[in-house]
């Protein structure tokens, strides 16, 4: 068994899922020193932390037994910041505890609260939910807490950044004081330390070492493309890699719709995920990916948050990400929990410098290559054909009889050609594409050079940034300023004007701090909160930090002519 110290039903579930070696965070929480204690764990997304806390509270819930008794008031409560993450956690705990007879249910925004209320009334062993919906069920007395033995706060720093502190404190205040509290967070700022000190008892501090934001299990490739051939290169990359599941990222909903239609027409089983889809449509698309009916997901950044599909081994950036944090968030859909993955960026010549800057900030090294050619793909098809079930599966008697009949009427060469034609007809035809070439001065830059950072920081005037939080997210300067300075590692005096709109916030970072802010913000915290530099004039470079542009000019004036709430810092 890969996890011999665990209850037998969980060890069998892990073995069935080919969990041969625990990840560092899983190892840490099942050690003897962690048994029965409150835990304060810093671990990045994709490190296997969902399974980790499922293992950590196993003995507390099962109490030496192999199966649970009848479901009643819940024994464990897991709180997650987003609907997608909560549903993902529910699925992970469901298979992990399947042999114990556990009943795991989710309570999240966007779902029918009356159905959730009936499920809670029928009883559950583990409840997973978002802060707002859980608080609503508590206030309506749908969720009983008297039997709770464990409370888990997943991605606690993100929940605080999203303004859920009041909800978390309310939930924790109505749970039994003798419970175990497991707090998982990518970063441990003062607010998290304060929360831990108030609601945890002698917590064991676990900091998982050796985890990189750049994802060491991900291979990065930067593919040179001609802009008009990007769709063809997506086709060839999917065909060349032949991934069990792939995600293709676009920057807009229209681009997602168009590319998904193109891929479907070409013969790929593709689904789309974008903000315009309802929850039912999203669930249907994700289920098609999980059960193998679809192999390609075309998505926007927002729609892909919280997606965890174990079979994703390829991410394609059809549109260049806005910044290094988005690059890492997208790429992090693969290479999770010890699995290998590939992240492919499609880079036209006009965007090469911006891509190099982004890779440098992300501290990852990409191999610069040309697009896969049609000849390379056809050669691979010939090699892969022998792995097709038509060859690997034993033939039935009627197959043998029909084969003998065909051999009596056709030559072996004719039959082999017909078989190859049938095999190729099931595959999308590869495209003829162009490699624009590296060019005389297009050598790939190193992943990260501190001297580059020093040169960048010394340049340029103030830079405007855009944050994906606005008035509808209860954004206000008092809340935003500490978050920006903490995650960006800059002083309050280096933040200029803050302008809050309905769906976003624009703010100014003064002087040479812009580059330092961009680098540090991309490395800290959760990908749910995103920042991008506001560019002016397309891909033209600024006189400030390389890759950023000060938005002075007509476009800037049009944007700033709006009359949002404004605060000067």
Half-sphere exposure at residue 275, Cβ-oriented, CA atoms within 13 angstroms: 9
Phi and psi (nearest 5°) for 41?
A: -120, 130
- Which pLDDT value is given to residue 405? 87
Rounded CA-CA distance 137/167 in Å is 12
Is residue 138 within 8 Å of residue 174, measured between CB atoms? yes
Mean pLDDT of all residues in 451-476:
65
Rounded CA-CA distance 132/119 in Å is 18
- Which pLDDT value is given to residue 504? 87
Q: What is the overall mean pLDDT for the chain?
A: 81
- Which pLDDT value is given to residue 76? 96
Give residue-wise pLDDT tens across range 400-443: 888 888 888 888 888 888 877 777 777 888 888 888 875 443 33
Nearest 5°: the CA angle 312, 315, 319 is 150
Mean pLDDT of all residues in 276-303:
84
- Range from 269-278, 372-381, 435-444 carrying the lowest mean pLDDT: 435-444
pLDDT band at residue 45 under the 50/70/90 scheme: low
Mean pLDDT of all residues in 348-368:
88
Sign, CA torsion 530/533/539/545: negative
Q: Residue 48 gets which letter from DSSP?
A: S
Mean pLDDT of all residues in 119-137:
95
- Is the pLDDT score of 183 beyond 70? yes
Sign, CA torsion 116/471/521/442: positive
Give residue-wise pLDDT tens across range 513-552: 887 888 788 777 566 677 777 754 333 333 333 333 333 3
- Which pLDDT value is given to residue 443? 39
- Which pLDDT value is given to residue 286? 85
C-alpha distances in angstroms, 498 versus 517, 528, 554? 15, 20, 20
- Which pLDDT value is given to residue 306? 61
Element (H, E) at 383: helix 374-384
- Range from 47-56, 136-145, 411-420 carrying the lowest mean pLDDT: 411-420
- Which pLDDT value is given to residue 338? 62
Q: Where are the domains of the chain?
A: 8-207, 218-372, 376-425, 451-568
| CATH (one of 3.40.50.300, 2.30.30.280, 3.30.70.100, 3.50.50.60) for 218-372 | 3.40.50.300
Phi and psi (nearest 5°) for 205?
A: -85, 120
- Is the pLDDT score of 368 beyond 60? yes
Give residue-wise pLDDT tens across range 281-291: 888 888 898 88
Same fold, 8-207 and 218-372: yes
CATH number of 8-207: 3.40.50.300
Q: Residue 536 gets which letter from DSSP?
A: S
Dmax (CA) of the chain: 88
Query: Among all chains, which residue has been given the structure tokens 């007395």?
Result: 141
Q: Which CATH superfamily is domain 451-568 in?
A: Malonyl-CoA ACP transacylase, ACP-binding (3.30.70.250)
């Amino acid at each position: 068994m890969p996890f011999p110290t665990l209850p037998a039903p969980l060890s069998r579930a892990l073995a069935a899922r080919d969990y041969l070696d625990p990840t560092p965070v899983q190892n840490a929480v099942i050690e003897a020193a962690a048994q029965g204690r409150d835990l304060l764990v810093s671990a990045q997304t994709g490190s296997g932390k969902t399974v980790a806390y499922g293992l950590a509270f196993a003995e507390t819930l099962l109490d030496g037994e192999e199966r649970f008794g009848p479901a009643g008031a819940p024994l464990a409560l897991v709180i997650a910041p987003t609907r997608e993450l909560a549903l993902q956690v529910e699925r992970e705990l469901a298979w992990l505890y399947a042999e114990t007879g556990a009943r795991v249910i989710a309570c999240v925004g966007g779902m029918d609260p009356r159905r959730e209320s009936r499920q809670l009334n029928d009883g559950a062993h583990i409840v997973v939910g978002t802060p707002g919906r859980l608080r609503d069920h508590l206030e309506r007395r749908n969720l009983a807490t008297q039997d709770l033995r464990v409370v888990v706060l997943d991605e606690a720093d993100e929940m605080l950044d999203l303004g859920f502190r009041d909800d978390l404190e309310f939930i924790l205040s109505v749970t039994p004081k003798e419970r175990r509290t497991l707090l998982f967070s990518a970063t441990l700022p003062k607010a998290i330390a304060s929360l831990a000190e108030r609601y945890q008892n002698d917590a064991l501090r676990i900091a998982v070492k050796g985890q990189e934001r750049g994802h060491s299990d991900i291979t990065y490739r930067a593919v040179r493309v001609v802009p008009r051939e990007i769709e063809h290169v997506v086709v060839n990359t999917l065909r060349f890699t032949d991934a069990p599941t792939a995600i293709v990222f676009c920057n807009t909903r229209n681009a997602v719709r168009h590319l998904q239609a193109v891929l479907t027409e070409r013969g790929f089983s593709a689904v789309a995920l974008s903000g315009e889809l309802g929850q039912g449509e999203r669930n249907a698309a994700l289920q098609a990916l999980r059960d193998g009916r679809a192999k390609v997901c075309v998505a926007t950044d927002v729609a892909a948050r919280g997606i965890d599909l174990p079979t994703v081994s390829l991410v394609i950036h059809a549109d260049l990400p806005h910044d290094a944090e988005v690059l890492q968030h997208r790429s992090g859909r693969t290479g999770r929990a010890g699995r290998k993955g590939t992240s492919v960026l499609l880079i036209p010549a006009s965007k090469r410098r911006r891509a190099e800057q982004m890779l440098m900030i992300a501290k990852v090294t990409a191999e610069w290559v040309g697009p896969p050619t049609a000849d390379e793909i056809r050669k691979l098809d010939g090699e892969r054909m022998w792995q097709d079930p038509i060859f690997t599966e034993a033939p039935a008697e009627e197959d043998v009889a029909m084969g003998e009949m065909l051999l009596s009427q056709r030559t072996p060469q004719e039959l082999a050609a017909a078989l190859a034609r049938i095999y190729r007809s099931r595959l999308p035809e590869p495209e003829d594409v162009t490699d624009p070439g590296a060019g005389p001065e297009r050598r790939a830059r190193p992943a990260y050079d501190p001297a580059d950072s020093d040169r960048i920081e010394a340049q340029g005037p103030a830079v405007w940034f855009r944050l994906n939080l606005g008035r509808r997210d209860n954004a206000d300067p008092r809340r935003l300023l500490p978050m920006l300075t903490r995650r960006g590692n800059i002083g309050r005096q280096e933040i200029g004007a803050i302008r809050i709109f309905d769906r976003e916030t624009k703010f100014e970072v003064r002087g040479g701090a812009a580059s330092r802010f961009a680098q540090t913000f991309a490395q800290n915290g959760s990908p749910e909160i995103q920042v991008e530099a506001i560019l002016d004039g397309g891909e033209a470079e600024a006189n400030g930090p390389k890759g950023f542009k000060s938005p002075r000019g007509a476009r800037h004036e049009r944007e700033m002519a709006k009359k949002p709430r404004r605060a000067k810092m």
